[in-house]
Amino acid sequence: MPEHTSGLRLSGLCFFLQILIIILFAVFVRYSPESSPDLCSQQLNCSRRKPDSGFQHPRFRDVHLRALLGFGLLVTFLGRYGPGSVAISILVVAFTVQWAVLIQGFLYFFLNGKIYVGAQSVVSADFCTAAILISTGAVRGRANPVQMLLLTLLGVTLFSLNEYILLSLMGVSDSGGSLTVHTFGAYFGLMISRILHQPHKDRRKEQQAVGQQSEVFAAAGTIYLWIFWPSFTSATAVGDNAEPWAMLNGYFSLAASTMATFVLSPVLYEEDTLRVVQIQDAALASAAVMGMAGEMLVTPFGALAAGFLAGLISSLGFRFLTPVLRSRLKTQDTCGVHNVHGLPGVLGALLGTLLAALATADAYGGRLELVFPLVAQGSRTATDQALCQLCALPVTLLLALLGGCLGG
Look up the CATH architecture of domain 64-197+214-407.
Orthogonal Bundle (1.10)
Q: Using 50, 70 and 90 to split pLDDT, how confident is the model at 376?
A: confident
What whole-number distance in Å separates Cα of residue 365 and Cα of residue 74? 40
Helices (H), 291-381: 300-316, 322-328, 337, 343-356, 361-364, 368-371, 373-376
User: What is the DSSP code (8-state) at residue 337?
Assistant: H
pLDDT category at 86 given cuts 50, 70, 90 is: confident
Cα three-residue angle 297-253-242, rounded to 5 degrees: 40
Which SS3 state, helix, strand or coil, does residue 116 take? strand
DSSP letter at 117 equals E
Task: Calculate mean pLDDT across residues 22-44.
Answer: 69
Q: Say whether pLDDT at 268 is over 70.
A: yes
Helical spans, DSSP H, in 41-81: 57-65, 72-74
For the chain, the farthest-separated pair of C-alpha atoms sits apart, in whole angstroms, at 69
From the CB of residue 324, how many other CB atoms can be counted at a distance below 10 Å?
11
Residue 127: name the closest of 236, 16, 54 by CA. 236
Which pLDDT belongs to residue 201?
53
With residues binned 3-state (H G I as helix, E B as strand, rest as coil), the percentages for the chain, rounded to 5, are: 75, 0, 25
Question: Does the predicted model carry a pTM greater than 0.85?
Answer: yes
| Residue 253, pLDDT score | 92
Task: Identify the three-state secondary structure at position 50.
Answer: coil
Of the candidates 58, 71, 340, 79, the one whose C-alpha atom is nearest the C-alpha of residue 220 is: 71
| List of residues 6+ apart from 153 with CB closer than 8 A | 17, 95, 99
Answer yes or no: is pLDDT of 91 > 50.
yes
The pLDDT score that the predictor gives to residue 204 is 44
Of 55, 142, 139, 136, nearest to 95 by C-alpha is 136
Contact 211, 205 (CB under 8 A): no
Spatial contact of 407 and 188, defined as CB atoms under 8 Å apart: yes
DSSP secondary structure letter of residue 365 = G
Domain ranges of the chain: 64-197+214-407
Which pLDDT value is given to residue 142?
Answer: 80
Question: What sign for the dihedral angle of Cα 57, 349, 373, 395?
Answer: positive
- 48, pLDDT greater than 50: no
Confidence band of 154 (pLDDT split at 50, 70, 90): very high
Coil vs helix vs strand at 111: strand
Rounded CA-CA distance 75/68 in Å is: 11
Q: Which amino acid is at 342?
A: G
Q: How confident is the model at residue 6 (pLDDT cuts 50, 70, 90)?
A: confident
Q: Rounded to an integer, what distance in angstroms lies between the CA atom of residue 254 and that of residue 40?
A: 33
Helix (H) or strand (E) holding 20: helix 2-28
**Is a pLDDT exceeding 50 seen at residue 4?**
yes
Question: Strand 114-117 relative to strand 110-111: parallel, antiparallel, unpaired?
Answer: antiparallel
The CA angle 38-44-47, to the nearest 5 degrees, is 80
pLDDT tens figures, 307-352: 999 999 998 998 889 888 888 887 888 888 999 999 999 999 999 9
